[in-house]
């Protein structure tokens, strides 16, 4: 092996590492050096062998020594100072464009490239955290019987006026609650992460896991996890009191959970948590850590604290199937032989930590109306999912299947998505190994809630009382739309920006109803038709009764390249496929007066048998006959339709197989007013269906 090549001092001085080369003679007679290692470099930076010509190592030219890194971000990814310095030396102008243009100011005041690299590496090492000095908040507790004037909870009857009083404008609310609660009390208060109130593990795709992370076997001696729990609960209580003072909440707050079970697998539920339940948990930890020096008192604490925490977690999943009994605890493998205070202590710590983390993140979600991005001001990234991991002692795969965690993610609503203009933050109990979060499906969810909770979080709003009873409600105006009943038997409600239904035709309901708000239409799970078959045949299906699909020129591109000896020209056109327009729509938009009679005799309607599933084409007038009474009831025309039916046999004429044209002409001569109304009704019904099907 040859001695080290010239120039290694230059590497040490400028890049911080000493390269180690092996000299090899190639078949062309040239001597090459094979890069073997860097002395003083962390293992992550020793990126394998590379080949370098001997003359390229002389002097200050060192191009080609390793894989090329074209940006500062590439070099920072591997925490390699020498690469950062080299990029700045080689092309300072290009490297300091965009996000790194502030380096030019440092250069103008005399900073060397080596010093700039140090600053960049320190900043990258802290990323995505933004270290800050926390505020010294006065510790307080929320009131357990507080209601601000005009809140939604104090209404005993219909909400005839807006349900929220004017709140004082507070620009510090978001940052204050985030600092106190957003990651369950874990804040980047110093560069030394051992000073933090727990650990946060970042995964891919903007996912993180939160854990208080004290080894259980040391719990009796240092109580680290217990102190972190109590500190986080103190911060929660302070934030809750602050929210009360600016009329954000009363004696409780809400969160959105995913409903478990087979009956309503795609539902979310808006659930309320009372602050007295939180104080009950906090008070059971108040006398510690002094009390845990006694094993007897420690056991007493474990049962009391676990009961308080489980009362909170039961709001997420009923019944709560965590480590609440001896059989479940033994099945987790933590203490298979006995149920002594050590096992109970471990259980209590985890359950209390999990409940505390849930409370903190839940309050943050509440103060931003369960909407918007999850972006703590001290993290330079947007968080899409969280895994609240309690105080897990790194369980095995088998144990993890029995230990409850909480998954926090965004979920889409059905009809309310138009009002919320985005997904909502939801919570659910999961059982899986920490730091492994599976992607949720993108299904839309109905929302189960009470009216007062809905108005508190997404108000203001007011209700329209029923004509027959002042204690009943017909509709609720909220979020620029109307909320009304569509299925009284199942308490199914619908929200829409615009409602064409008269208030007199909508069923009324008491304001205390537990409602399910969702889309008007649902998927019939008993349908024998397989949608998968239709998708499999999609390539051979064609649109029926529409104008032919067409292609429209949407873009033109022209390009050229010139060299010393040649030139290249290119020209591209982009065509966009335009779907055909239904024939019904074309005819109805062009049809006025007597011409509508011809359209009503066209076989553009489709009649389907519920028994056999067989369909047949029918004239549009038969479709109008089926819907005429329903349409008249919705528009307050029931009396008129019954009168016309008795006098002119309207329904029979529309349903008759022959002589409709003759009947219509006779009606026009006998009563032009009735004829005009019926034609308007028919066109209104058909116009509603003009874009559907055949």
- The enclosing H or E element of 595 equals helix 595-600
Contacts of 685 (CB under 8 A, 6+ apart): 623, 624, 627, 628, 631
Q: Is the pLDDT score of 448 beyond 90? A: yes
pLDDT of residue 270: 93
Q: In this structure, how many other beta carbons lie within 10 angstroms of the beta carbon of residue 127?
A: 13
Which pair of tokens denotes residue 157?
């009857």
Q: Which residue has the higher pLDDT, 149 or 28?
A: 149
Q: Are strands 473-478 and 461-465 parallel, antiparallel or unpaired?
A: antiparallel
Weakest mean pLDDT among 202-206, 240-244, 360-364:
202-206
Cβ 364 vs Cβ 383: under 8 Å: no
pTM of the model: 0.59
User: Is the distance from CB of 484 to CB of 474 less than 8 angstroms?
Assistant: yes
The candidate with the shortest Cα–Cα distance to 345, out of 211, 223, 232, 433, is: 223
Q: What is the pLDDT at residue 42?
A: 47
Question: pLDDT at residue 332 above 70?
Answer: no
Residue 457 near residue 482, CB atoms below 8 Å: no
**Neighbouring residues of 73: CB distance < 8 A, sequence distance ≥ 6:** none
Least confident of 4-13, 302-311, 563-572, 644-653: 4-13
Q: Is the dihedral of CA 500, 504, 507, 513 positive or negative?
A: positive
pLDDT band of residue 322 (cuts 50, 70, 90) is very low
Pairing of strands 567-578, 550-562: antiparallel
DSSP type of residue 546: B
Does residue 69 carry a pLDDT above 60? no
Confidence bin at 7 (pLDDT 50/70/90)? low
**Band (301; pLDDT cuts 50, 70, 90):** low
Indicate the SS3 state at residue 480.
Answer: coil
Is a pLDDT exceeding 60 seen at residue 645? yes
Q: Residue 75 and residue 113: Cα distance in Å, rounded?
A: 14
| Pairwise pLDDT comparison (530 vs 55), residue with the higher score | 530
Which has more confidence, 521 or 430?
430
Q: What is the pLDDT of residues 586-611, one digit of tens each?
A: 666 665 555 677 778 787 777 776 66
Q: Which pLDDT value is given to residue 359?
A: 92
Q: How far apart are CA 307 and CA 285, in angstroms?
A: 12
Average pLDDT over residues 276-290: 75
Considering the chain, what is the average pLDDT of its residues? 71
State the pLDDT confidence band at 379, using cuts at 50, 70 and 90: confident
Q: In sequence order, what are the residues at sequence separation of 6 or more whose Cβ sits closer than 8 angstroms to the Cβ of residue 425?
A: 256, 365, 370, 371, 374, 408, 409, 410, 411
- The yes-or-no verdict on residue 240 having pLDDT over 70 is yes
What whole-number distance in Å separates Cα of residue 493 and Cα of residue 478? 13
Over the stretch 384-428, which tens digit does the pLDDT of each residue have? 888 888 876 555 555 556 678 888 889 989 889 888 888 999 998
3-state SS of 335-349 is CCCCCCHHHHHHHHH
Amino acid 79: pLDDT: 63
- On whether the CB atoms of residues 371 and 424 are closer than 8 A, the answer is yes
The top-scoring range by mean pLDDT among 216-220, 272-276, 434-438, 470-474 is 272-276
Q: Of 79-88, 248-257, 512-521, 671-680, where does mean pLDDT reach its minimum? A: 79-88
Can you spell out the DSSP letters for 156-201? -S---S-SSPPPPP-TTHHHHHHHHHTTTT----SS-GGGSSSEEE
Alpha carbons 605 and 584: distance in angstroms, whole number? 10
* 270, β-bridge pairs: 256
d(CA 569, CA 151): 70
Q: What average pLDDT score do residues 444-448 get?
A: 91
Per-residue b or e along 572-609, where b marks 16 or more CB atoms closer than 10 Å to that residue's CB: eeeeeeeeebbbbbebbeebeeeebbebbeeebbeeee
Give Cβ neighbours of residue 592 (< 8 Å, ≥ 6 apart).
none
**CB proximity list for 62: less than 8 A, separation 6 or greater:** 7, 10, 11, 56, 86
107-147, pLDDT tens digit by residue? 778 888 888 877 777 776 666 777 777 778 888 888 888 87
Q: Which segment of 344-348, 414-418, 569-573, 674-678 scores lowest on mean pLDDT?
A: 344-348
- The encoded tokens of residue 478 equal 């909220």
pLDDT at 633: 80
| pLDDT at 45 > cutoff 60 | no
Q: Among 484, 511, 518, 522, which Cα is nearest to 500's?
A: 484
- Higher-pLDDT residue of 682, 275: 275
Instruction: Work out whether strand 492-496 and strand 514-517 pair parallel, antiparallel, or are unpaired.
Output: parallel
Please check whether residue 366 is in contact with residue 187, taking contact to mean a CB–CB distance below 8 angstroms: no
């Amino acid at each position: 092996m040859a001695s080290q090549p010239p120039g290694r001092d230059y590497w040490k001085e400028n890049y911080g590492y000493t390269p180690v080369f092996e000299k090899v003679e190639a078949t062309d007679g040239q001597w090459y050096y094979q890069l073997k290692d860097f002395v003083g470099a962390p293992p992550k930076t020793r990126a394998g062998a590379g080949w370098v010509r001997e003359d390229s190592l002389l002097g200050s030219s060192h191009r080609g020594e390793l894989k090329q890194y074209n940006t500062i971000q590439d070099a920072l990814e591997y925490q390699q100072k020498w690469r950062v310095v080299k990029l700045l030396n080689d092309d300072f102008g290009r490297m300091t464009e965009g996000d790194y243009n502030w380096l030019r100011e440092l250069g103008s005041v005399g900073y060397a490239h080596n010093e700039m690299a140090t600053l960049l590496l320190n900043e990258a090492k802290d990323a995505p955290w933004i270290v800050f000095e926390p505020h010294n908040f006065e510790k307080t507790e929320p009131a357990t019987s507080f209601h601000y004037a005009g809140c939604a909870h104090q209404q005993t009857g219909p909400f005839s006026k807006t349900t929220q009083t004017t709140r004082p404008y507070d620009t510090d609310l978001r940052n204050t609650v985030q600092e106190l609660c957003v990651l369950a009390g874990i804040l980047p208060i110093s560069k030394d992460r051992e000073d933090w109130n727990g650990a946060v593990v970042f995964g891919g795709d903007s996912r993180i896991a939160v854990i208080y992370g004290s080894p259980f076997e040391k719990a009796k001696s240092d109580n680290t996890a217990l102190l972190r729990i109590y500190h986080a609960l103190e911060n929660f209580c302070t934030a809750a009191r602050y929210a009360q003072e600016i009329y954000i909440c009363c004696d409780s707050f809400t969160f959105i959970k995913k409903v478990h079970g087979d009956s309503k697998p795609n539902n979310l539920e808006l659930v309320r948590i009372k602050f007295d339940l939180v104080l009950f948990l906090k008070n059971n930890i108040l006398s510690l850590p002094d009390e845990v020096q006694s094993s007897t008192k420690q056991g007493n604490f474990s049962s009391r604290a676990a009961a308080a925490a489980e009362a909170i977690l039961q709001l997420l999943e009923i019944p709560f199937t965590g480590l609440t009994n001896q059989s479940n605890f033994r099945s987790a493998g933590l203490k298979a032989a006995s149920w002594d205070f050590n096992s109970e202590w471990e259980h209590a710590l985890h359950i209390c930590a999990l409940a505390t983390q849930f409370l903190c993140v839940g309050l943050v979600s509440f103060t931003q109306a369960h909407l918007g991005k999850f972006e703590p001001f001290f993290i330079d990234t947007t968080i899409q999912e969280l895994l609240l991991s309690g105080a897990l002692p790194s369980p095995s795969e088998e144990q993890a299947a029995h230990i409850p965690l909480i998954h926090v993610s965004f979920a889409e609503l059905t009809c309310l998505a138009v009002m919320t203009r985005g997904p909502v933050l939801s919570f659910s109990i999961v059982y899986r190994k920490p730091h492994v979060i599976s992607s949720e499906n993108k299904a839309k969810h109905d929302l189960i809630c009470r009216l007062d909770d809905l108005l508190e979080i997404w108000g203001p709003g007011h209700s329209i009382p029923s004509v027959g009873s002042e204690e009943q409600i017909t509709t609720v105006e909220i979020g620029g739309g109307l909320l009304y009943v569509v299925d009284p038997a199942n308490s199914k409600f619908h929200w829409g920006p615009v409602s064409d239904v008269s208030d007199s035709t909508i069923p009324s309901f008491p304001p205390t109803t537990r409602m399910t708000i969702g889309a008007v239409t649902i998927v019939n799970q008993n349908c024998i038709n397989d949608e998968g078959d239709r998708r499999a045949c999609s390539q051979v299906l064609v649109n029926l009764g529409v104008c032919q699909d067409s292609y429209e020129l949407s873009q033109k591109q022209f390009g050229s390249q010139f060299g010393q000896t040649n030139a290249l020209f290119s020209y591209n056109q982009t065509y966009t496929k335009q779907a055909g327009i239904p024939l019904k729509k074309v005819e109805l938009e062009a049809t006025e007066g007597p011409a509508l009679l011809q359209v009503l005799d066209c076989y553009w309607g489709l009649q389907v048998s519920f028994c056999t599933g067989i369909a047949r084409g029918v004239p549009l007038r038969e479709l109008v006959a089926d819907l005429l009474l329903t349409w008249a009831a919705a528009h307050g025309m029931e009396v008129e339709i019954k009168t016309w039916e008795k006098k002119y046999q309207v329904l029979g004429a529309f349903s008759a197989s022959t002589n409709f044209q003759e009947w219509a002409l006779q009606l026009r001569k006998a009563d032009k007013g009735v004829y005009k109304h019926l034609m308007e009704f028919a066109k209104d019904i058909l116009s509603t269906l003009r874009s559907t099907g055949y």
